[in-house]
Amino acid sequence: MASNTSVVFDLPPLPSYTLTTREPLLTPISDNILSLILPIIAYWGLSMVYHLIDVYDLFPQYRLHTPAEVLKRNHVTRWHVVRDVILQQVVQTIAGYAVSYFDEQECVGKEEYDVAVWAQRIRIVQRVLPGFLALIGIDALGLAKNLSRSGHTMLAGALSGGKYPGMTQSIILESGVEAIAPAFTEWEMTLASFIFWYFVPFLQFVWAISVVDTWQYFWHRAMHLNRWLYVKFHSRHHRLYVPYAFGALYNHPVEGFLLDTAGTGVGFLTARMTTRQSMWFFTMSTIKTVDDHCGYEFPWDPLQKITSNNAAYHDIHHQSWGIKNNFSQPFFIFWDRMLGTKWEGDVKNRYERSRESAQKKVEQDAAAAAAAATAIKERSEGAVVSEEPTDSNARTRLRRKTLSTSVEDLKGVTHGVASSVLQA
Ligand SMILES: [Zn+2]
Ligand SMILES: [Zn+2]
């Protein structure tokens, strides 16, 4: 029954597979829709947490700016911010839906096959090992023989070019004939599994993140270098000199689409991510950009520790003196470092001056408001004193009332005198 396996199978064969449609994570919402909804939930959810921290002033020691600065230095109301963010999210959802509309239905069932493909690649790489080691003067085959004799058969097999004589399996060919074929070793399958399930997705994320950072850096920098682009689009985001969490996506809709939506879209598409991966990627990008605008420098926030691009770093870019620096967003700062746009000067004194100036303005406003209130009070009291009816009937009524009051007063006084006489 056995066939000549050494001819038929140069490599361990790949398993067969059956594809089935991937079940949605949260039925009845499709994964595509969920990947569009999750970033919006994350945006407003995290923003609300920061908003409550702001409102109840829970961590004043970690604030980058004082409440006085929030009050005095921003050139836009919170409601305008909310309105523009919602508009950007509507645009990004429509764009995301349009892209996902052309996506093929995702299937599962091919994973074992894909792992085996990686195992085959690992086996092929081993074949070049003896030749490669010979280049640096190592006799791989001789070494393999010694290792084999001392019981290290796996290492010996790898060094001899991926030859594992004892590793075979019985398989049924399409013709129904049983055959003996080479098999993968356990370490090859473990490594292949790690590459397929962890390493490749990790590289996909690294790629997508690099694409977004690169895309955003050059567009962002262009928006500052080109006056028309700045005035027309990007200046809107810079109305927030004191950023707060839900101002993260406060942009002109064109900028929002060009930088955020298109940037993450290109990152996702070129990394060839699955919809499930895109859920992580879109949501993490959103969380990162909200955190970068939160207005706090927390010592325990992991998002602010993973990279140097954090709330304190991006806040510098929102200041009038740092606006031509720190363009990098949202993950890493390598472009700022490489192209010399990272802010290197002092920040402590500059922040202190901003705080003092805003505090002074608030105090001046409070003093002006108090003075105005006193003036109004005095004026209204003066008006009561000098108030006099203008028509003659009313004047007569007032005179009669005054006279009767005087008479009553006199009566009272007389009564009082009488009482005191009686008491005496
Ligand atoms: Zn900017
Ligand atoms: Zn910003």
Burial status of residue 197 (CB atoms within 10 A of its CB: 0-12, 13-18, 19 or more) = middle
- CA of residue 58 to ligand 2 center, whole Å: 23
Does residue 255 have a pLDDT over 70? yes
| Domain locations along the chain | 25-107+194-339, 109-193
282 C-alpha to ligand 1 centroid (Å) = 21
Q: How does pLDDT run across 35-76, given as a tens digit for each residue?
A: 999 999 999 999 999 999 999 999 999 999 998 998 889 999
Which ligand gives the minimal distance to the CA of 251?
Answer: 2
E strand intervals along 112-220 = 168-172, 178-182
Ligand 1 centroid, distance to 409 Cα (angstroms): 77
How much of the chain, in percent, has pLDDT values that exceed 90?
A: 75
CA 35 to centroid of ligand 2, rounded, Å: 24
Cα(344)–Cα(325) distance, integer angstroms: 9
Measured CA to CA, the distance from residue 158 to residue 161 in angstroms comes to 5
409 by Cβ neighbours in 10 Å (0-12 / 13-18 / 19+) ranks as: exposed
State the ligand closest to the CA atom of 311.
2
- State the average pLDDT over residues 196-225: 98
CA of 322 to the centre of ligand 1 (A): 10
> Mean of the per-residue pLDDT values for the chain?
88
**How far apart are the CA of 224 and the centre of ligand 1, in A?**
6
pLDDT at 98 over 60: yes
CA–CA separation, 385 and 401 (whole Å): 17
- Alpha carbon distances (Å) from 254 to 80, 87, 105, 237: 16, 11, 31, 12
Q: Dihedral through CA 395, CA 401, CA 402, CA 404, nearest 10?
A: 140
Sign of the torsion angle spanned by Cα atoms 272, 277, 283, 287: negative
Instruction: Summarize pLDDT for 114-123 with one digit per residue, the tens.
Output: 999 999 999 9
Centre of ligand 1 from the C-alpha of residue 111, in Å: 43
Ligand sitting nearest the alpha carbon of 216: 1
pLDDT on residue 272: 95
Query: Which ligand lies nearest to the CA atom of residue 309 in the structure?
Result: 2
Between the CA of 355 and the centroid of ligand 1 the distance, in Å, is 21
Average pLDDT value for residue range 265-290: 96
| 330 Cα–ligand 2 center, Å | 9
107 DSSP β-pair partners:
21
Task: Give this prediction's pTM.
Answer: 0.81
Longest pairwise C-alpha distance within the chain: 144
**Residue 27 DSSP label:** T
Quick one: DSSP state of residue 109?
Answer: S
**Per-residue pLDDT tens digits for 1-23:** 444 444 467 899 999 999 999 99
Residues 308-336 pLDDT 10s: 999 999 999 999 999 999 999 999 999 99
Alpha helices, DSSP H, located in 293-323: 302-305, 311-317
Ligand nearest to the CA of 294: 2
